[in-house]
Amino acid sequence: MSKENVNHLLQLNASLPSGSKKRSSSTKSSKKKDSVTTPTRKTTTAETIPAQVKPAAYDVEAAQNVVFKPNPGPQTQYLASSEREVLYGGAAGGGKSYATLADPLRDMNSPDFSGLLVRHTTEELRELIQKSQDLYPKAIPGIKWSERKSQWVTPRGGRLWMSYLDKDTDVMRYQGQAFNYVAFDELTQWQTPYGWNYMRSRLRSSSKELGLYMRATTNPGGPGHAWVKKMFIDPSPANSPFWATDIETGETLKFPAGHSRAGEPLFRRRFIPASLFDNPHLAESGDYEAMLLSLPEHQRKQLLEGNWDINEGAAFPEFDRTIHVVEPYDIPSSWTKFRACDYGYGSFTGVVWFAVSPSEQLVVYRELYCSKVTASDLADMILEAEAEDGTIRYGVLDSSLWHNRGDTGPSLAEQMNMKGCRWRPSDRSRGSRVSGKNEIHRRLQVDEYTEEPRIVFFSTCTNTIAQLPSIPLDKRNPEDVDTNAEDHLYDALRYGIMTRPRSSIWDYNPSKDQRSGFQASDSTFGY
């Protein structure tokens, strides 16, 4: 960033308070030079989670000496957030780097403050250090930088290390250390969540005046796109705090049985999106916007639009939450309903339920995603979920489940059928995988007559919505998806969609609101 932009952004008071207090929702005004004009953190109760943190007011009289003032909106919300783990960013140009540097400033002058700010490589770290050397001496007179220790030390003893984590083994250098503040800049540069999870174990403090915080900034894309998306994007709408979940199972993290707080959620997370247009100092000229507009489509959607559903090599880049995700509604009893399942005990089982509108639009209205569930128990779970659905016309199940698992006894499919959970085998013929993928592509298109997509998903189908745009192409066969990816719900979706193939827009007459042609699925399955 240019020095001109630096001068625009650097508006934080030239000194900090003599000590730090717990972060609260209000800011105290003062004419003295040891006041701060940045917002303090708002504490929330276990019963109340605010939808949005309001930007704090600023002391106009103290603003004459400010060297950093956060932009209104997302940047201010990020600096005021109280959740244990917060991700800030999305699109490029939202002021992530300066938000990262400004965030620890309100507590750094406390003698008990111990913070760590990391980048993935030393080269990336060098740029962040240079920006800090412009900001910190202006914000805290007397602060010292140690090149040997890569550490800032304030006059009152607060310490902030600036380091790197290139490999997973690099976390061992922090073994035995404790921090009350840890921040990762450009989080998706880490291929796995190992470093993030390990540094969470270093988060502790003996001070009752300082909270415990982990912070991160990033754009979509990069080696760690998938796990960051699972951790911060998929569990909850943007800007809505939520209880931290397990990124593999999606279940809320809770204190274990036998603990004094058994069953209580552990802590909260939050994703705060920002875009170029939230940073008026960079967006004003339009030059940076023009550069982002010139990028290839997937990069443009990531960096300009902050779209997390787009990743390089994604099999279904046409998926768009604003188009394909709808809020749940009551499905008319006259609509055909059916389900599809991809079963796996050792991995995951995915079940999706479909409803078919008069225009042959498919509505995915329910999902079931679980692991370590027997076929018999799965049948019970499905029948319980369908209790209020009315008639489920048919179910389609991975055809391999009709294979006998041993010398005697019914197959897994037969076990479920005997429970009253009826299935037909899926199409696993030669070329069926590619045909299924192509049919999903066609379904994701917007019909030129109805002006609606040929398939939509209820917003409650969170796992399906998360998986579909994240599935990568097979690098050896771009006509298919990578079967090593998390694809159980995708397979269930494919099985179900292929029971209603080749339904054409030409079979629909909008003026009569009825189909003039036959339905292939009804002919095939006899329903």
- Residue where a domain terminates, one of 275, 303, 331: 303
Residues 104 and 207 in one domain: yes
Residues 354 and 286 in one domain: no
Residues 86 and 123 in one domain: yes
pTM value is: 0.60
pLDDT of residue 384: 95
CA 433 to chain CA centroid, Å, is: 28
Which CATH number does the domain housing residue 343 bear? 3.30.420.280
456 is written with which tokens?
Answer: 């939509």
Distance between first and last Cα of the chain: 64
Residues 336 and 276 in one domain: no
pLDDT of residue 404: 64
pLDDT of residue 16: 37
pLDDT of residue 416: 93
Q: Which domain holds residue 419?
A: 321-525
pLDDT of residue 312: 63
CB 23 within 8 A of CB 82: yes
Residues 295 and 327 in one domain: no
CB 232 within 8 A of CB 247: no
- Residue where a domain terminates, one of 303, 331, 352: 303
Round to whole Å and give the CA distance between 297 and 410.
50
Residues 259 and 132 in one domain: yes
Residue 59 located in a structural domain:
no
258 is written with which tokens?
Answer: 């036998």
- Binned average pLDDT, 10 residues per bin, the chain of 527 residues: 39 40 40 40 40 40 60 87 91 78 90 93 86 91 93 94 87 88 92 91 85 91 85 89 90 93 95 79 70 69 70 78 92 95 89 95 95 93 94 92 71 91 88 89 90 94 87 81 84 92 47 40 38
When divided into structural domains, the chain yields a total of 2
pLDDT of residue 94: 67
Quick one: which H or E segment has residue 117? strand 114-119
Residue where the block lists tokens 């949005």: 52
Round to whole Å and give the CA distance between 106 and 41.
10
Which alpha helices (H) appear in 146-255, and where do they start and end? 194-200, 225-228
Round to whole Å and give the CA distance between 166 and 490.
33
Residue 141 located in a structural domain:
yes
- Non-local CB neighbours of 512 within 8 Å, separated by 6+ positions: none
- Non-local CB neighbours of 87 within 8 Å, separated by 6+ positions: 187, 216, 217, 218, 228, 231, 232, 269, 270, 271, 272
Distances (CA, A) of 445 to 234, 451, 481, 508: 23, 10, 19, 16
Burial of 113 (0-12, 13-18, 19+ CB in 10 A): buried
Which CATH number does the domain housing residue 245 bear? 3.40.50.300
pLDDT of residue 113: 94
CB 467 within 8 A of CB 489: yes
Round to whole Å and give the CA distance between 316 and 441.
7
* Helix count and strand count (H, E) for the chain: 17, 18
